[in-house]
Structure 1
Amino acid sequence: MNRFALPVLLALALATGGCGGGQRKDDAPVVVSAIGGEARLADPSAGPIDPAERVLMGATAQGLVRFDASGQIEPGLAERWIVIDDGRSYIFRLREAYWPDGAPVTAAQVIRVLRRAAAPDGRNPLAPFLAVIDEIVEMTPTVIEVRLKRPRPDLLKLFAQPELAVFRTGTLDGSGPFLARKIAHGFLLRPTPDPARQDNATPEPEETVQLYGERAALALARFKAGESDMILGGTFADWPLLEPAKIAPANLQVDHAIGLFGLAVTHRRDFLADPANRAAIAMAIDRATLAQQLDADWAPMETLLPSKIDSAAPPAQPGWWTLPIEARRETARARVLAWRQQHPEPLTLRIALPPGPGATLVWAHLALAMRRIGIEPQRVGLGDPADLRLIDAVAPYDSGRWFLHTACIACSDQAKALIDAAREAPDLAARAQRIAEADAALTADSSYIPIAQPLRWSLVALRLDAWQRNTRAWHPLNHLRNETE
């Protein structure tokens, strides 16, 4: 038996008595499992939130704008907006919206939450990318202006993220699109009343959502038993669980997400002090074979940027990219041997990875690659001290600066200066040039080792006919069924 099959089959047996399940009735509530911790309302300004918490925040609170099923911008609290002053000013007109107790959402409340989220000394994970905001002002009780220091055409995609949802501090109440009520192990979500309607009747069961945050194996057991309609938040770490679960191909959906999946160097000491040594680690990895071990369609990457995006140049290529894998490894072995001649003690590197069978497969490939060039690898957890740490993140917006900033854990001072210069560039042309220069500097520095694009998967019942793949890997719960849009 496949070594990853037993946990899933045991869970399935406990949930279903060993029998396979079917699709749920079309008039039943939509049941969603979000892979992660237990779903709970969490304040993004207090620090990064769990994937299940992001789904709940996105369902119960909205920003000025939000994402639709295809990952495009749609109105949220703002019914419309304009961009003026060459992209330095965004003016939003608020729609009529209410808190769960019926009190109206005011411009002052929206401004207070957004200022807190963008505070440079705050813990909101998107705050570093909001430093361009100069001020947020109330022009009228229904009009808000966001004034920028420099033009940013991609700002709306940041405002659509759950981390910038507007909620009442303390209670974490949001204005919808759903109202949440705690139930056993999850939340019952009901559509918010429409203020334009006089007869806000009790919603039909199929208009409601039951949301659970749970481990992938339990989510698969629930779906296989016909007790849920969707699993959100699948990553490479849990991908091998799908094969023994025998999920119908029609239910498996994979997003072609854009982001980072690679190893960030965490310090510049000892063996990792030399960029040629760091490049040796990058050269040792056979990315195509690693990706094939999990999924034939998983896209390997040898560059930091996935495409030109908003850079002035195509993605920078590492100096070794034209070499075949054996030539790369031979060069890497020579670098390690030269180090060992000066430092005869064993060369050990700690690699931080998440738990899960997919992470174990990735670890096995990385460990073999390291040993082939003379490095003894040690696997540690993501929160443990490490020399190399996996970054697996979907880009929240379309800018090379996000990739550069996120990958620069221990990059060179030159690369850091260029990343900062891109943030401070006075116009889009200068910004694009600084991004290209920073990409080249960080690639030459070899302080981030790209491996692939992020792998994101969902299981989706056929009755959720409005679900769409998108590069954000974000699937709002109010856009699952066409008849509820």
Structure 2
Amino acid sequence: MLRKNRISILMAAFLAAACHGSAQQQPLRVVMVNDSGSAALDRELRAATAEGLVSLDEEGKVVPGLAERWIVADEGRGYIFRLRDSAWPDGTKLSGETARQALRRAIAAQKGRALGQDLTIIEDIRAMAGRVIEIRLAQPMPNFLQLLAQPELGLEHRGQGAGPMRRKHVEGLDWLTPISPDARGLPMPEGWAATVRPLSIRAMGGEKAVAQLLAGQADVVLGGRITDLPPIQRGLLGQRTARFDVAPGLFGLIVEKDSGFLAVPTNRAALAMVIDRAALVNALGMQAGGIPGWSPTTRLISPGIGEVQLPERWSDMDMDHRRAVAVERVAVWSKARKLTARPEEGDGLELRIAMPDGAGANVLFSRLAQDVAAIGLRLRRVGMGESADLRLVDEVARYPSPVWFFNQLHCGVHPVCTPDADHLVAQAWNVEPPLAPALYAEAEREVMEANLFIPLALPVRWTMIGKGAGNLLRGLVPNAYGVHPLYPLSDAAR
């Protein structure tokens, strides 16, 4: 009781100070699913507390952030941003120079990551007079603003972002309160304080999160992935609303160690072809009570992205034929290995696969283990932080371009890679736009023939809304990229 009273006193004081009266609104209780790690929660918290030059709204559209407006110049190679008239939290004036320094720090923090590879398109960042900043690109990039709006590029000055929300961590909870528009250099609507509410944020596994929702201890669950989805009984959907976003991106297995069995390209192809993706998607879909629009894939680039139109692989072979080919390849390799391997080294047919926790991940592992067992392989499941031969990748595309998919597997990000594909993608930047799709198609063929990434299906993200909370969550809308930022949920007047 004393602990609860302490939290209440602290939060009442904090909320009153932070949003000038919005503490009168009941907080929206948000649970973020973290079976796959804390990265998604960290991104959402940064997006809510550290705006970039531009941001993403609840529909996944680019909207002004610290920049109130911008123009595109030099045939798409120059982006000139006019910053709003405001200050950083410590009182320092927001200027082109402080924004330039903050953006350079944010970009440097992504070095060696896939997002860092995306950002190599930036050639220079220039502070111009007063509140103006220019970003120069090496080549035009049609989706550059969507890339720039990613949470990791939220700008901080002396360790603090400029909003739109302020974060306070109290007794294991993150509290987010909206910052008044006038404090952010924006027009102040009349009666603003009565229209906003704070958010309380907790992180936990998918099964526990849904249990909290059913017990009335949470209003909404965000950030769910198919791997952490608990079984949903059909009766549950009558009381609670589950929403699914099927998004472009990568959901599959990446080869982390091209040694042993996985050192041989035909062996990797055997592994890729023997997975019954339709059965896998069906098993996971049944657990979810059905996921409209979710389908398996053998391709790297998601349908509808760019103009690359390659067919699905092995469409001319049924599963029995694919298993027969895979069995023969495993047998050939195993026979050759016995001539050179020492007895204590084992048969080399066990592969370690790194997967997150979660009920959905259990179903996924069971299906994969069953499929590979049919050709004489064994899977051993390990945690995401452990050394593995294969690792599950579940990433939603940040922007709609074939380049995003290739950068996830770039040799600057993963040492086990396909250099020829990287070379082809680099070439595509330097040719006339009508010629680029052919180079992307050739690069995708290179990646697929190498079988260093084994696609399974499109990524799925899910949210669940508590009973009676639906009318309070008009800021939570479906969108093509599964983006559900926290700030729009603070609007209690929708």
- Give TM class, smaller chain: 0.7 to 0.9
Structure 2 unmatched ranges of 5 or more: 1-23, 339-346
- Residue 176 (str. 1) matches residue 163 (str. 2): yes
**TM-score calculated relative to the size of structure 2:** 0.83
1:326 aligned residue: 320
TM-score, normalising length from structure 1? 0.85
Give a deviation string over 1:161-186, Cα, whole Å, max 9, x none. 110001123x3x21111122222222
Q: Could you tell me whether the CA contact under 8 Å between 2:197 and 2:491 is conserved in 1?
A: no
Deviation readout 1:386-417 (Å, 9 max, x if unpaired): 21111111111111122122145423332232
| Aligned twin of 2:150 | 161
Distance verdict in 2 for CA 1:150–1:33, change over 3 Å: same
* Matching of residues 34-433 of structure 1 within 5 Å: 34-36=32-34, 50-119=39-108, 122=111, 126-169=115-158, 171=159, 173-195=160-182, 196=186, 203-204=193-194, 207-243=197-233, 246=236, 248=238, 251-295=241-285, 296-297=290-291, 298-307=294-303, 309-311=305-307, 313-315=308-310, 317-318=312-313, 320-344=314-338, 345-407=347-409, 409=414, 410-422=416-428, 424-425=429-430, 427-433=432-438
Give the partner amino acid of 1:189. L
What SS is found at the alignment partner of 2:140? coil
Structure 1 counterpart of 2:464: 459
- Does structure 2 retain, via aligned residues, the 8 Å contact 1:120–1:128? no
Q: Over residues 396-439 of structure 1, what are the superposed CA-to-partner deviations in whole Å (9 max), with x where a residue is unaligned?
A: 111112212214542333223224434x5355445434322211
Distance (whole Å) between structure 2 residues aligned to residue 140 and residue 166 of structure 1:
19
Q: Tell me by how many angstroms 1:450 deviates.
A: 0.6
Cα distance change of structure 1 residues 327 and 249 upon mapping to structure 2, 3 Å threshold: farther
Contact 1:350 1:379 in 2 (8 A): yes
Identity %: 35
Which sits farther off after the overlay, 339-348 or 54-63?
339-348
Q: Which stretch has the larger CA shift, 55-64 or 431-440? A: 431-440
Distance 1:204-1:407 versus aligned 2 partners, 3 A rule = same
SS of residue in 1 equivalent to 2:480:
coil
Alignment match, 2:342:
none
1:341 positional shift: 1.9
CA distance in 2, matches of 1:355, 1:141: 50
Does the CA-based 8 Å contact 1:34-1:55 persist in structure 2? no
Cα 1:83–1:270, aligned 2, differ >3 Å: closer, same or farther? same
Determine helix, strand or coil for the equivalent of 2:487: coil
The residue identity in structure 2 corresponding to 1:35 is: V
Matched residue, 1:28: 26
Deviates more, 1:177-186 or 1:141-150: 177-186
Spell out, residue by residue over 1:82-120, the C-alpha distance to the aligned partner (whole angstroms, 9 max, x if none): 112121111111123333355442222211121122239
Equivalent-residue separation in structure 2 for 1:454 and 1:209 (angstroms): 27
8 Å contact from structure 1 (residues 99, 105) kept in 2: yes
Return the alpha-carbon distance in structure 1 between the equivalents of residues 86 and 238 of structure 2: 41
Report the more deviating stretch, 105-114 or 204-213. 204-213
Q: Residue in 1 aligned with 2:444?
A: 439
Contact 1:256 1:470 in 2 (8 A): no
How far apart are the structure 1 equivalents of 2:157 and 2:117? Answer: 23
How far residue 247 of structure 1 moved from its aligned partner, in angstroms, is 5.2
Q: For 1:448, give the aligned amino acid.
A: F
Conserved 8 A contact 1:191-1:203: no
Tell me, in whole angstroms, the C-alpha distance in 2 between the residues paired with 1:140 and 1:181: 35
Distance change >3 Å, CA 75–CA 353, structure 1 → 2 = same
Q: Which runs of 5+ in 1 are unaligned?
A: 1-25, 39-47
What is the CA–CA distance in structure 2 between the aligned matches of 1:181 and 1:121, rounded to whole Å?
25
User: Is contact 2:297–2:312 with CA below 8 Å preserved after alignment?
Assistant: no
How many corresponding residue pairs? 446
> Separation in 1 of the partners of 2:189 and 2:482?
35
Letter in 2 for 1:262: G
CA-to-aligned-CA distance 1:49-71 (integer Å, 9 cap, x gap): 62211111111111111111111
1:44 aligned residue = none
Question: Given residue 128 of structure 2, which amino acid in structure 1 is its aligned partner?
Answer: M
Deviation at 1:213, TM superposition (A): 2.3
Moved more, 221-230 or 365-374: 221-230
Aligned 8 A contact 2:261 2:348 in 1 = no
